[in-house]
Amino acid sequence: MIIDDVNTRDEIIKQNQRLVQNLNTQRHTVSGIRQLISEITGQKIDESIRIALPFYTDYGRNIKLGKRVNISCFVTMRDLGGIIILDDVQIGPGVVLDTVTYPENPQKREQPQGKGIKIEKNALIEPKAVIMPGVIIGENSIVKAGAIVEEDVPANTIAAGNPAKVIKKLKK
């Protein structure tokens, strides 16, 4: 759900900033963390989801999480374009999921654009990888540590490097 009304979007961003600051600076129980993430995303967070703090997002409402998702600490999600993370995904520390792009024309850069990211079932994103706008990470795939992913990663593969390339096919 991308909100085109700038005033509504700005209000959601302000609310999100307060919630994220509270999430990352106060002590919380596991259920308290889950409750704050539910408020940030606007969806009920399943009890099987694990999110280590600190966790960062600029908008929050465009994040959709499956079941048994494990998000490590220092993960950043710029979700204006939408982020869908399916079941059993593992995301390592310091990963960036960035759905925001800007027009090449300097006079139009005040209007960010969103291109969604989808991470399919059972994928593993290793520490400090960066997933760029519009990318799909295929089922069972692995994105190696530090990779910069600018293109889709097919299912059952390992991608590494900058820019990331498929380096191996996984056996099914």
pLDDT tens digits, residue range 51-99?
999 999 999 999 999 999 999 999 999 999 999 999 999 999 999 999 9
Q: Is 1 a domain residue?
A: no
Question: Does 36 map to a domain?
Answer: yes
Q: Is the pLDDT of residue 102 over 60?
A: yes
Residue 103 has pLDDT above 90, yes or no: no
Residue 19 in any domain: the answer is yes
| Containing structural domain, residue 25 | 6-169
In a domain, 87, yes or no: yes
Give pTM, 2 decimals: 0.92
The total number of structural domains in the chain stands at 1
**Single-letter amino acid code for the residue at 44:** K
- CATH number for the domain including 74? 2.160.10.10
How many other β-carbons are positioned within 10 Å of the β-carbon of residue 108?
A: 11
| Whether the Cβ atoms of residue 89 and residue 69 lie closer than 8 Å to each other | yes
